[in-house]
Structure 1
Amino acid sequence: MVFLSGSTQPANDSLRFFAQKRGIGIGAAVAIRPLRKDSSYRTVLAREFNMLTPENVMKFKPIHPERDRYDFVAPDTLVDFAKRHDMQVRGHTLVWYQSEPDWLTANKWTREELMTILREHINTVVSHYRGQLVAWDMMNEAIADNASLRDTIWLKTIGQDYIELAFRWAHEADPKVRLFYNDYDSEGLGAKSDAIYALVKDLRQRDVPIHGVGLQMHVSINNPPNPEDVAANIKRLNDLGLEVQITEMDVRIGSGTENLEQRLAQQAAVYRNMMRVCLEAENCTAFVVWGLSDRHSWIPSHYNQPDLPLIFDKSFRPKPAYEALIEELQRM
């Protein structure tokens, strides 16, 4: 994957500037509300990043709310912003068990009916953005925490070949876009990453059009990923001919102000270490943080407590984690 500067010249002290010099994508997950309403959000996004991922608006439920109706208004807004600012877009996500509309889950479908629904959904969405995206998180979290295939409507009704079929259908709709398998708690070595490795190895051996693996990297300073394990995992995926991207990184530090400076330094070290692993791996092509500012992170509502997991604070000021990424990108 090649990252071009385009007509927009990034500020020469920005993440974007240094990432482009290293030939790597530097991205952020983008929420539609602040993109539309917050000028500071838009300014920082365009200045600091050369890639974006829609946080929610391309998921199945918002983009396909009724059986015969699609809604592309919000995702088109995001893609248009990216075009204006010479940013690449990662599509997110075509198949995910947690974003299924009621019309889909409330009905009993035959295997043939559900295959038709899935194929039509993939073809419609991928075709709509054909030639406009560089990658899709084609399959999201199909492996459960116990390392088995996740028990989803697709698996139960279609069977495990739904994964292969989905990749093939997406490739038919846009042969040039890069298709990724994306998952959490799989950045290092362990049972879940072993299961993902076995899955993608099997797909590759059967010439299924899968091009990469996304490592989400939702992590914590209390249990940070081991850099050597992450490097080894990325290396074995490279041996399969697969690209790797860090796709959803945030680093939880917990709530409260006690030892805050120390916790922010620990957070910065985790970001630094993962950027270093990515830069040193020949097949790691992008580094995406899951949100722009602590003001808009999903973490506090998900864990029901305050947190500061991102690289800009709630006022869009750079945190130590931001400086660590800048320093790592400058290190040769």
Structure 2
Amino acid sequence: MTRQTHAGPGDRPSRRAVLAGGLAASLCAPFPAQAGSWAADSLHAAASAKGLAYGSAVNITPLRRDPAYGRALARECGLVVAENEMKMNYAWPEPGRQAFAGGDETLAFARANGQRLRGTTLIWHEALPDWARARINRREGEALMRRWIGLIAGRYRGRIESWDVVNEICGPEDGREGGLRNSPWLDALGPRYLDLAFESLREVDPGAAGLWNENDLELSADWINRRRAMVLKTLGGMIARGVPIRRFGLQGHIYSTHALDEARLRGFLREIAAMGLSIEITEFDVDDRAYPADVAVRDRKVADFARRFLDVVLDEPAVLNVTTWDITNPNTWLNANLQRRRKDGLPQRALPLDEAYRRTPLWRAMHKAFTDAPDHRAARVRLRGV
């Protein structure tokens, strides 16, 4: 049974007290610690009724500054992920200094609200501090990778459900071996860096599911078809080599400038599932650049697009969860990205809550998609990637 989050200020400890009091226990106790705080009518409640989960990325700045942000995450989510605080440039900014405060606070928040926790990201071509980038070379690269994964995955051993072990490695247009994206890790170690990363996580935290997280696979275009082909071929090779990959992450950044081909997406997910992998939707949002300025019209189009996408995704039994990349429109990364900004300068309406933490038409579309989804609980018995 879940508990509600509608108690008055005097009935709950402050957010600061929860974080401070729970941190020590968070780092030495199993996860999660207590019954979930999500509301009975929340996105996660609708998802969990079908054996799924709903979650959100957590931006540490509003979590620290705005209690309403934390209450919204607690009300709607059964799963959270630190948006940035577990990436290398945040957690290991200097060779002799680690900075785990933000990750620890995210963990404490999750434990206080009975939420599961994902981790992002271990190996990526971005979010590298300058000192580390200089050491990703043939002589030092492998030792640095193992040291980094040992530090971050070791600190949160037993508390992370799944780690994005490698992130955004697909790049057929770069002309590299196997269609891999240009990366300092590829330059230093060759394609074997993928295997090393997954094997390192297994050594450090064998209970955490290792996941390849990838973007630009959801919609319709010739260049996206080439990316899907690369993903399927690379996954097949990894499984044949015995790489300990258990899940595949479809980021789910869908954008109004491209069409959705439901049949192609359905087939792609089915092929991944046939390899025995579970699937997570890891960074879901809707880029509304091509939609009119009128809020009512735009919200309706965003909701419709999201519903069509989620109906396909949630039909696949291998899908475990849907995580949005933050939960409230003002925090979407789309407004800060030059390529994603609307030409009219209006903020994007990409996420399930608005600036006042009210539920949007997108929230309602997501809730209905979860409610109408087939029951995924029986599939859990057959999946090795859970």
**2: distance between equivalents of 1:255 and 1:278?**
23
Q: What is the SS of the residue equivalent to 1:279?
A: helix
- Provide structure 2 residue ranges, at least 5 long, that are not aligned to the other structure: 1-30, 374-386
**Structure 1 residue aligned with 2:293:** 258
Deviates more, 1:272-281 or 1:149-158: 272-281
Structure 2 CA distance for partners of 1:69 and 1:322, relative to 1, 3 Å:
same
- Correspondences of 1:1-332 after superposition (within 5 Å): 7-8=35-36, 10-105=38-133, 107=134, 110-144=137-171, 146=173, 148-187=179-218, 190-254=225-289, 258-303=293-338, 304-305=341-342, 306-331=347-372
Shift in Å, 1:279:
2.2
**2: distance between equivalents of 1:275 and 1:56?**
25
**2: distance between equivalents of 1:80 and 1:158?**
36
> Given residue 142 of structure 2, which amino acid in structure 1 is its aligned partner?
M
Deviates more, 1:281-290 or 1:61-70: 61-70
**1: distance between equivalents of 2:91 and 2:293?**
42
TM-score of the pair, normalised by structure 1: 0.94
Shift in Å, 1:277:
2.1
C-alpha offsets along residues 184-228 of structure 1, whole Å, 9 cap, x if unaligned? 101356101111111111111111100111111212223243222
**1: distance between equivalents of 2:215 and 2:256?**
16
C-alpha offsets along residues 26-70 of structure 1, whole Å, 9 cap, x if unaligned? 011110001111111111100101001111111111111112322
- Provide structure 1 residue ranges, at least 5 long, that are not aligned to the other structure: none
**2: distance between equivalents of 1:20 and 1:109?**
42
Q: What is the SS of the residue equivalent to 2:121?
A: strand
**1: distance between equivalents of 2:154 and 2:33?**
26
> Given residue 88 of structure 1, which amino acid in structure 2 is its aligned partner?
R
TM-score of the pair, normalised by structure 2: 0.81
Deviates more, 1:258-267 or 1:91-100: 258-267
Q: What is the SS of the residue equivalent to 2:139?
A: helix
Contact kept, 8 Å, 2:248 with 2:278, in 1: the verdict is yes
**1: distance between equivalents of 2:235 and 2:216?**
16
Shift in Å, 1:263:
2.0
Contact kept, 8 Å, 1:249 with 1:288, in 2: the verdict is yes
> Given residue 240 of structure 2, which amino acid in structure 1 is its aligned partner?
Q
Contact kept, 8 Å, 1:224 with 1:270, in 2: the verdict is no
**1: distance between equivalents of 2:182 and 2:372?**
44
C-alpha offsets along residues 89-125 of structure 1, whole Å, 9 cap, x if unaligned? 11000011111101022x3654231110111101111
**2: distance between equivalents of 1:41 and 1:109?**
38
**2: distance between equivalents of 1:83 and 1:4?**
5
**1: distance between equivalents of 2:135 and 2:49?**
52
Shift in Å, 1:153:
1.1
Q: What is the SS of the residue equivalent to 1:302?
A: coil
